[in-house]
Amino acid sequence: MPYLILKSGKRPPARERRAMENGLAQAFLTFTQAAGSLEKSYTLLQNEVERLRGELEKANADLEHSLEENTRVRAYLTQVLENLPCGVVVTAGESQSVQFMNPLARRLLQIPPEWNENADSRAPELLARLKAEASSSSSPSEFEWCERGRDGNRYIGISRADLTGHAAEEASDRIWIVRDVTEEKRLAAEREAARESVALAEIATLLAHEIRNPLGSMELFTGLLAEAVSHSPEARQWATHLQAGLRSLSATVNNVLQFHAKAGVQLTAVDLGRLLGEITEFLQPVAKQRGQQMRFENGIGKVFTQADANRLKQVFLNLAMNGFRAMPPGGTLRVRMKWAPQFPGGLAEIEVHDEGRGIPGELQEKIFDAGFTTTPGSPGLGLAVCKRIVEQHGGAISVQSRPKEGTTFAIVLPVSGAKA
């Protein structure tokens, strides 16, 4: 260290010089220590800054990922809401302003696509009605509206839920679920109608069973009465009317029983020509009472078919009664039995032809449906019973008809044991 020189040009005393040198050395040492401490603190500060920068970058990355996830979830939830099979409306606050409404809600509430609450203060009718329900504290949480339109009534079911988390004194935000329940109402009505139909069918079957026994006795006594008064034309005519009415009633009762019968057919060998002859004889009083005639023509002789005779009689009884009703007085109902052209010797074809008004073409596909009828007061079971019984016997039934030219029903049945 260089010696210190006083201003006077003289060197200071040795003691004083040493003291000054020690102070200066101490000052350099202190500076050196402070500089080292500052350098160390600066290094720590740099490390802390790097750490904080890393944490900030991670936090920013997490936030960005969270925002992306929120955006994705929001888009997904929006897609879900827009594609729900029910309408969703969210209203807020005392004014119940619309916060969200999915497309189905717009359609059900008949809100035009261009309507915007912010631009048009006048709400569409159904939306205004919904808001009125919202402002009513006594309105139920679930209710229905019935809207009348050109295509019939439309039923809208509405459910309401209040969003929680608001202060008690604040008006609640609300979620409205809007559904078209027209189809549900229709199905419920159909189920109720079906239930009533089953109940009526059971009652009708029970009544038919109760009527059939005394009806058979009445037919027997009417036949005896007809024989007893055969000498009196007027009384004979009355007996004929009674027989016709009883046999018509018998056909209706048997139709009810056959239509609702659950037991299978009991097949035995039946002489088809004889069966048709008996039906013709049985129905002569009905034809006579209506001023008509009935003719039976057997073109194949004596043939047998495996059948339940009573049920098969019901088929021809129904076809004959329909023919009588379709014809004016003076008409003739013809029953012809012949071989079926497509299988002679194995299939018999029985034609029942009337000279009546005919069946319009558009109705011919419906006439075998249960309940279908063009005759007021008729239950519409006759042809449905015919079709069911014929098919139970392995046969088929068809119809050909032209308006004002009459109607022909053709029944094809398998036969065996033909005799000329």
Chain segment 195-240, per-residue pLDDT in tens: 877 776 666 666 665 666 676 667 676 777 777 777 777 777 777 7
Alpha-carbon separation of residue 119 from 95, 97, 262 (angstroms)? 16, 13, 68
Confidence (pLDDT) at 217: 66
pLDDT tens digits for range 304-320: 999 888 888 888 988 99
Low-confidence ranges of the chain (pLDDT < 70): 1-12, 121, 134-140, 164-171, 200-213, 215-217, 219, 221, 243, 247, 251-252, 254-264, 344-345, 376-378, 417-420
Q: Which fold has domain 87-180?
A: Beta-Lactamase (3.30.450)
Confidence (pLDDT) at 325: 87
Query: Other CB atoms closer than 10 Å to residue 160's CB: what's the count?
Result: 18
Confidence (pLDDT) at 292: 92
Contact 66, 84 (CB under 8 A): no
**What is the 3-state composition of the chain as percent helix, strand, coil, each rounded to the nearest 5?**
50, 20, 30
Nearest to 405 by CA among 351, 337, 359: 359
Block residue for tokens 């509206």: 145
Alpha-carbon distance of 240 to 225, in angstroms, equals 10
**Quick one: DSSP state of residue 361?**
G
Confidence (pLDDT) at 196: 78
So where are the chain's domains?
A: 1-83, 87-180, 189-419
Confidence (pLDDT) at 169: 47
Contact 351, 398 (CB under 8 A): no
Domain 189-419: give its CATH architecture. 2-Layer Sandwich (3.30)
The answer, as to whether pTM is greater than 0.85, is no
Confidence (pLDDT) at 420: 43
Confidence (pLDDT) at 173: 80
